[in-house]
């Protein structure tokens, strides 16, 4: 169980870092008027947030088993 928890923590951290990178990407001037690209980035951020929520739920459940 501890190994799975550690794996989940790493995956969550990676996804959070990817979100930060995407948010920084959105601030770039080249995307300031590219609404299609901005929407794509926002959709990816939304998907990553959903994945994080799922992994957090699993992480919390496994934590109760320790």
* Residues 3-10, mean pLDDT to the nearest whole number: 98
Task: Summarize pLDDT for 8-36 with one digit per residue, the tens.
Answer: 999 999 999 999 999 999 999 999 899 99
Burial state string for 19-41 with b = 16 or more CB within 10 A and e = fewer than 16? beeeeeeeeeeeeeeeeeeeeeb
Percent of the chain with pLDDT over 70: 100
Q: CA–CA separation, 47 vs 64, rounded Å? A: 26
Q: Give the model's pLDDT for residue 32.
A: 87
DSSP string of 17-45, one letter each residue: HHHHHHHHHHTSGGGTT-HHHHHHHHHHH
As a whole number, the mean pLDDT across the chain is: 97
């Amino acid at each position: 169980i501890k190994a799975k928890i550690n794996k989940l923590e790493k995956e969550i951290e990676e996804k959070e870092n990817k979100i930060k990178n995407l948010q920084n990407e959105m601030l770039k001037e080249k995307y300031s008027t590219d609404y299609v690209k901005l929407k794509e980035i926002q959709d990816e951020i939304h998907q990553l947030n959903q994945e994080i929520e799922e992994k957090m739920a699993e992480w919390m459940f496994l934590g109760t088993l320790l």
